[in-house]
Amino acid sequence: MGNTWNKEISLQEALSYFHSGMTLMVGGFGGVGNPPSLIQGMLDKGVTELTIISNDTAFPDIGLGRLITNRRAKKVIASHIGSNPNAGSQMTAGELEVEFCPQGILAERVRAGGVGLGGILSDIGIGTIAEKGKEKITVADKEYLLETPLTAEVAIVYAKKADRFGNLVYDTSARNFNPLVAMAGDITIVEAEEIVEVGELDPEEIVTSGVFVTYIVKSEGVNWKWAWEK
């Protein structure tokens, strides 16, 4: 099928798309589904001043939490940071800007960015501090907050399997935010445990279509026992 159908690149090639000051969207939930090799590569490259969009900030030494622990982020947009005390201490010290967003609304904002919508309407937070700075829109005599879409310069996701075109299969709960994040990057880079030829995946297993994927890298894995012991 030629190179048009082969999106696999080396980890080093993938890292050329990451730079300090960029907006980065990361799939995963509590570290599960975060791409470990890409995150390690960013740490090794010295990328800093990141604006990170993800459901959470994982744990101090697991997943994207390692970027927080190593002070590589200047801002986080997430639904919670409670599992990573380093994020909380940096926020309290004024070293990390945190924009909180309810989990369902966050997911919809990412989806809206991925499908090209101008935003979503929600009545969550009306009359509270959550409405500060948000535009209000009235529809059928009911007031809503306009929740703006989220996109990123680069979105990174983790898949159990990918074919060379970028069709993706996820491992159980590692599916979480990854399918949404895969749609919302200007460039989407997939880290896959296994890369197979086009046609080898069962079409019923495929969750993310390859049309959303820019590049694929083979995962170098992560020592989870080491991560938890840390």
Domains, the chain, ranges and CATH? Answer: 19-118+151-229 (3.40.1080.10)
Q: Which of 223, 208, 213 is nearest to 175 (CA)?
A: 208
Give the mean pLDDT of the chain: 93
Residue carrying structure tokens 């924009």: 99
Instruction: Specify the pLDDT at position 26.
Output: 98
CA 154 to centroid of chain Cα atoms: 9
Instruction: Specify the pLDDT at position 201.
Output: 96
CA distances (Å), origin 78, targets 10, 48, 87:
29, 18, 11
Q: pLDDT band for position 222 (50/70/90)?
A: low
Question: Region 31-47: what's the mean pLDDT?
Answer: 96
Instruction: Specify the pLDDT at position 114.
Output: 97
Give me the amino acid identity at 166: G
Q: Which of 31, 29, 68 is nearest to 51 (CA)?
A: 68
Q: Report the C-alpha gap between 154 and 109 in whole angstroms.
A: 16
Phi and psi, residue 132, nearest 5°: -60, 125
Q: Report the C-alpha gap between 212 and 150 in whole angstroms.
A: 16
Task: Give pLDDT tens digits for 106-129.
Answer: 999 999 999 999 999 999 989 998
